[in-house]
Amino acid sequence: PFFGLISVQSYFKLAAELGDPDAQQDLAFCLANGKGCKKDRKEAAKWYRAAVSSHLSARTTTRIHHILD
């Protein structure tokens, strides 16, 4: 694989930007702890908030579908 050319953090960021809540949480962890990138707690907080929001949206959508079925 070509993981040496592009960091795993870059993949997290791409998926996070596309709205994946798990990637948002993983990216936030990387940023908060400086794993594979420069530590940036402000940016980490942004992605943690996005992950929470995405998880809540996913749960709400699941509940709505369950109610309608």
Rounded to an integer, the average pLDDT of 10-35 is 91
Residue 65 has a pLDDT of: 52
| Per-residue pLDDT tens over the stretch 23-52 | 999 999 999 998 888 999 999 999 999 988
What does residue 4 show for φ and ψ, rounded to 5 degrees? -65, -30
pTM over 0.85: no
Looking at residue 35, its pLDDT comes to 86
In 10 A of CB 55, how many CB atoms? Answer: 14
Torsion angle in degrees (nearest 10) through CA of 5, 51, 44, 16: 20
